[in-house]
Amino acid sequence: MGSYEELKRQLARGWNTWNTRSVLSHVLLPSGFALNLGLKDGASRHYLKEALIGRQGEQDEQIKPGPRTYDGAYTELTVTWQGIEILVQSAVLNEDLVILVTPCSTHRRAPLLVVEPGILWNRPGYVRRDGETLLGHWMDDESGQEQHIAVYATSASVVEPYIATQTPYLALTLDRPVGVSTGTRRTVDEISRLLHDHRAAQQAYVAEFGDLAEAYAAIQTCMAWDTIYEPEHDRVVSPVSRIWNVNWGGFVLFDWDTYFAAYMAAIDNKELAYANAIEITREKTERGFIPNFGTVGNLKSRDRSQPPVGSIVIREIYRKYQERWLLEEVFDDLLAWNRWWIAHRQAGDLLCWGSDPFEPLADAYWEVTAVHDRLGAALESGLDNSPMYDDQPFDRDTNLMQLADVGLNGMYVLDCEALADIAAVLGRTAEAGELQARAAAFRAALGQLWDEERGIYLNRLTESGVFSPRISPTNFYPLMGRAATQAQAKRMIDAHFYNPEEFWGEWIMPSIARNDPAYPEQMYWRGRIWAPMNLLVYLGLLRYDLAQARADLVEKSLALLLKEWRERGHVHENYNADTGEGCDVKSSDRFYHWGGLLGLIAFIEAGLMGDTLAALADPTS
């Protein structure tokens, strides 16, 4: 416990873009003192108080992220709004923050940069203005002494009383570059030199990834901007995007999304990887499972879980960093979750998605919507509106969708294997044996879902035993659990993966086969490409002699990620399977971190994620 508490304290320190409500808000932790940058248009008099990456309204700000570090030592954004374009850069030197805002557009009446100080999250302290200086004051918890900070600008503040803020502020004319600094008054030239050095250092670091430098930049930039301080639980986490946080009232952590965030952070940020893996595990419900979501006010999906990828991810993080205490921190919770699946989601020899009845804590939409019905079970799959689950029967007595699900059972075998490996490291011999036996039982049971006629595993109705004809990338997931023979695996790849009527194409893998009636909709899980599916299929390919398919999936996944990243600086929630676009629909968040899994596959393939390659390919592992 002590190790993680210390890690939490170290993560939640210093200047960074901690405030989820705006990427133009720089916050000093642990004090909560913030400098929020706003823009006032000189023509329309409109005021931009908060800015987020990926907003889609015609009048909304558009933000293109530039290079930045995880720790906030350097950040860069280009903001376009109301015909105004500015470049915003920041750097941290020791305890001081410097910001430079450079106008990139000209106007008859120059816009104003508004520097608004505050103390966030209702923490004790206050701000004031003394002439051209902003001052923040607070009590330091560790020393018990009052602390203060001074904020300076490189130009004089103008008189502008009509700004939507309730604290003192500086209003600075953006007819030239404007600098802001804390601690020490600095000139624009001094700030520019600091920024140049910090930017060059970050670019040099990214370049060390060689051929994967662009992919690293996409993954890391999105992860870093999506990482926030979450005050309700005093933690640093990486929710899927800031827009989702704001729409959910402050934050939302989704189960498999957050585990995958931990996996991506593990490329080079051990602490952030640990924090995300531990915090989503701590979201467990009273019934012992990791919920579909956890959000503000202890609201959780207490009726349903989500795909069991936690043990898989944490084992891979351990393989890279080899720190036993991480496993000790999460093992018992992961074991309880693993056991929950067989206690609450098993029908016969196999697992089904489900949704349990429960008494909601509030009338929050997702606490009461879809509970204990087919949609709730589909939401548990993580593939919310997948055509695979259209009109499938739901048994309200067993709380289960009456469909033995190939994807769930394939993931569960690997979950058991991964957790057994963790148990072995911890010397939990009895639990390791239990988990190995469970993996073997479900691996064998998956044989019931093999359709020899079509040459692929299929979902099967539990009452009638009839196979469902619809297929998606989840039908390849038994490969993760090594349930197929080499011959069966090769047949699946030849007949289905490389079939242009189903999954092959310029952009892969669509979330439902191309010849499915729902595929043309290209709406959410109805045909679009989702990065976690590509990753999980890739992990399955690793377990067989399927080198060409693996190489093709790596190459095409990387190309898909870089297409929108190069064009717009976007990392998408999902992508059009015909065009590779993400911006063609509003239901694809523009800066949703798990899109970066399309690039993580290449990092695994390059051997940069510990010994995953060798371990998964070894039949004795």
| Residue 508 predicted with pLDDT over 80 | yes
The structure tokens 């058991």 sit at 416
The structure tokens 């018990």 sit at 144
Count Cα neighbours of 521 within 13 Å in the Cβ-side half-sphere: 16
Q: Which two tokens stand for residue 269?
A: 């940020």
DSSP secondary structure of 378-445: HHHTT-TT-GGGTT--EETTTTEESEE-HHHHHHHHHHHHHHHHHHHHTT-HHHHHHHHHHHHHHHHH
What is the reported pLDDT for 568? 94
**CA–CA distance, 229 with 508 (Å, rounded to integer):** 35
Contact (CB, 8 A) for 213 and 207: yes
- Mean pLDDT across 135-158: 92
| All residues at 6 or more sequence positions from 76 whose CB lies less than 8 Å from its CB, including other chains | 65, 66, 67, 68, 87, 88, 89, 90, 199
* Residue 308: cis peptide before it, omega within 30 degrees of 0: no
Please write the tens of the pLDDT for every residue from 361-390. Answer: 888 888 888 999 999 999 999 999 999 999
Write down the number of H helices and E strands in the chain. Answer: 17, 27
pTM across the whole model: 0.97
Give residue 179's pLDDT band: very low, low, confident or very high (50, 70, 90). very high
| Residue 549 predicted with pLDDT over 50 | yes
**Average pLDDT of the chain?**
96
Identify which of 91, 1, 19 has the alpha carbon closest to the alpha carbon of residue 236. 19
Give residue 1's pLDDT band: very low, low, confident or very high (50, 70, 90). very low
Give residue 617's pLDDT band: very low, low, confident or very high (50, 70, 90). low
Architecture per CATH, domain 20-207, reads as: Distorted Sandwich (2.70)
Distance spanning both ends of the chain, measured CA to CA:
29
Identify which of 443, 425, 446, 424 has the alpha carbon closest to the alpha carbon of residue 433. 424
- Mean pLDDT across 91-119: 96
Give residue 611's pLDDT band: very low, low, confident or very high (50, 70, 90). confident
Please write the tens of the pLDDT for every residue from 446-502. Answer: 999 999 999 999 999 999 999 999 999 999 999 999 999 999 999 999 999 999 999
| Residue 621 predicted with pLDDT over 90 | no
| All residues at 6 or more sequence positions from 89 whose CB lies less than 8 Å from its CB, including other chains | 66, 74, 75, 76, 99, 100, 101, 102, 195, 199
What is the reported pLDDT for 574? 98
Please write the tens of the pLDDT for every residue from 14-66. Answer: 999 999 999 999 999 999 999 999 999 988 899 999 999 999 999 999 999 99
Q: Kindly list the domain boundaries of the chain, sorted by start residue.
A: 20-207, 210-617
Contact (CB, 8 A) for 507 and 577: yes
**CA–CA distance, 418 with 439 (Å, rounded to integer):** 10
What is the reported pLDDT for 584? 97
What is the reported pLDDT for 12? 97
What is the reported pLDDT for 620? 52
Q: Which two tokens stand for residue 146?
A: 């009052």
Class of domain 210-617: mainly alpha
What is the reported pLDDT for 618? 63
Q: How far is CA 615 from CA 274, 315, 320, 484, 537, in A?
A: 21, 11, 12, 18, 16
What is the reported pLDDT for 370? 93
**CA–CA distance, 596 with 579 (Å, rounded to integer):** 18
Please write the tens of the pLDDT for every residue from 565-608. Answer: 999 999 999 999 999 999 999 999 999 999 999 999 999 999 99
What is the reported pLDDT for 369? 87
Please write the tens of the pLDDT for every residue from 227-260. Answer: 999 999 999 999 999 999 999 999 999 999 999 9
- Packing angle between helix 213-226 and helix 597-605, nearest 10 degrees? 130
Question: How large a percentage of the chain has pLDDT more than 70?
Answer: 98
**CA–CA distance, 110 with 120 (Å, rounded to integer):** 30
**CA–CA distance, 609 with 554 (Å, rounded to integer):** 15
The structure tokens 């949704």 sit at 355
Q: Which two tokens stand for residue 615?
A: 């371990």
Please write the tens of the pLDDT for every residue from 254-292. Answer: 999 999 999 999 999 999 999 999 999 999 999 999 999
Edge-first strand listing for the sheet containing 299-300: 252-254, 293-295, 299-300
**CA–CA distance, 515 with 572 (Å, rounded to integer):** 24
